[in-house]
Amino acid sequence: MILAFLSGCQKTEDEGIYITFIKTSRSQRQTIYYFNINDEEVYSMKSLHPNLRSQSGAYNRDKQKIYYSAMTEDGHDEQLWEYNIETDERTQLIDGAYGINYIVSADDSVYLVAWCHDNEYGARNFYRYDIKSKSLELLQDDPTFNVGVLSYSSQNKEFMFAGEDAVESWHRHDIQSDEYPFYPPANNVYSMKDNEIKLVFSTEDNEDIVALAMNDKYILYRTRSVSWTLYVNDSNSVEEIRHVYLMNRETNEKTELTDEIFNSINSFIYLANNDDLYCIYYSDDYLQIIKLNLNDLSSVHQIYREVAEYYSFSDGLALN
């Protein structure tokens, strides 16, 4: 592994797809990293701001800018910011959000999943910020649809996002009791390509999608379900049940993947069209970014590794 300090490096034609991710240190200092898929050389960014506590961020190699979420100067609300590597300037881009979960920088737009003040159900929605017009656009038709997970294919220029009806979720929280415990609503999965959003499939009730990736042939996703047990002394316990599925996009047939490795994969970062899967992986007290191929799950290629006690990784995505 090579760690290099990033200082104004420019994209060359053969660099191709690169993956960005955030590393959080034990002292809660957060740094955005990126590595090229072709040569897997890992680059670390310098500190953006001493008070940065970003949950999401993405480096744009073409523009030499970083788009990230951070608190406003007065310490209220988490907004979208732009950091210019060449000029060392940071600019707040939007006002009105109060939480950002995903950021994808593509062409002249920044795509994000965020809570906004005018959403009475606190649903996380899918937005596009236009860099040229400096405007924020809600992309989904229904603002009560709560986006839980977002994925982006840089090869296919396609977004995919999954979530549930926030109104139904709030209702289930309100009426839950020992006799009627909370179960998450069914999830819908949508694709957005060429600015057109289409419903791809829906899960069953009590199937919450928590990880998602796709290529031109497959959709790979992990579900989380809950099982409640009520005892005679009126106490209860809850068990979390996980499943990983691979869905054929042409036939919609899905296959459950039960290989042991998926017990240690935290999140799917990117699924290439050659079936290489890049993911965040936990093993032997280390958090790692690894690559494996869906056709040979027994072979694991390590790209990045840090001691889990000190670091965590989050928000990986692929760009080109």
pTM of the model as a whole: 0.88
Domain count, the chain: 1
pLDDT value of residue 25: 66
**Is the residue at 32 inside a domain?**
no
pLDDT value of residue 176: 78
Q: Which residue has the tokens 């924020």?
A: 136
pLDDT value of residue 182: 81
pLDDT, tens only, 242-297: 999 999 999 999 999 999 999 889 889 999 999 999 998 888 788 888 999 999 99
Q: Which long-range contacts (CB under 8 A, 24 or more apart) does 168-174 make?
A: 170/121
pLDDT value of residue 234: 61
Domain that holds residue 171: 144-258
pLDDT value of residue 69: 82
pLDDT value of residue 60: 87
| Residues of the chain predicted below pLDDT 70 | 1-15, 24-29, 45-55, 73-76, 178-179, 230-236, 308-315
**Is the residue at 33 inside a domain?**
no
**Is the residue at 248 inside a domain?**
yes
* DSSP conformation letters of 51-97: T---S-EEEETTTTEEEEEEE-TTS-SEEEEEEETTTTEEEE--SSE
The Cβ of residue 175 has, within 10 Å, a number of other Cβ atoms equal to 9
Tokens read off for 284: 């032997």
pLDDT value of residue 245: 97
**Is the residue at 159 inside a domain?**
yes
**Is the residue at 180 inside a domain?**
yes
d(CA 265, CA 226): 19
Q: In what order do the strands lie in the sheet with 208-214?
A: 208-214, 218-230, 236-248, 254-256
pLDDT value of residue 12: 41
Ramachandran assignment for 3, one of left (phi > 0), alpha (psi -120 to 50 degrees), beta (any other): beta
